[in-house]
Amino acid sequence: MAARTDENVAGDEIYLYAKVGSTFIKWGCMDSFSFKSSIESFEVNCRAFSGKKPSGKAASWTISTGGFNRIFNPAAEALNISVKKAYEWHAGKTIIEIQFGTEFEGDPIWLGKAFITEFELNGNQGEASKYSLTLEGSEPITVDTVDA
In a domain, 1, yes or no: no
* Domain enclosing residue 91, as ranges: 11-145
| pLDDT recorded at residue 43 | 85
Residues 60-86 have a mean pLDDT of 90
Tens of pLDDT, residue by residue over 10-31, are 888 999 999 999 999 988 788 9
Global pTM reads 0.84
Asked whether the predicted pLDDT for residue 61 surpasses 90, the reply is: yes
| pLDDT recorded at residue 75 | 87
For residue 135, give the CATH number of its domain: 2.40.30
In a domain, 56, yes or no: yes
In a domain, 94, yes or no: yes
Q: Name the pLDDT band for 49 (thresholds 50, 70, 90).
A: confident
Distance CA 42, CA 83 (A): 39
Select the more confidently predicted residue: 61 or 46.
61
Asked whether the predicted pLDDT for residue 44 surpasses 90, the reply is: no
In a domain, 116, yes or no: yes
Using only C-alpha atoms, what is the Rg of the chain? Answer: 18
Asked whether the predicted pLDDT for residue 1 surpasses 80, the reply is: no
In a domain, 140, yes or no: yes
In a domain, 111, yes or no: yes
Residues 85-93 have a mean pLDDT of 96
CB 16 within 8 A of CB 24: no
In a domain, 4, yes or no: no
| pLDDT recorded at residue 52 | 84
CA nearest 14: which of 110, 132, 116, 141?
A: 110
Secondary structure string (H, E, C) spanning the chain: CCECCCCCCCHHHCEEEEEECCEEEEECCEEEEEEEEECCEEEEECCCCEEEEECCCCCEEEEEEEEECCCCCHHHHCCEECHHHHHHHHHCCCCEEEEEECCCECCEEEEEEEEEEEEEEECCCCCCCEEEEEEEECCCCEEEECCC
- As a whole number, the mean pLDDT across the chain is 91
In a domain, 123, yes or no: yes
Dihedrals φ, ψ of 85, to 5°?
-65, -45
Q: How many domains does the chain have?
A: 1
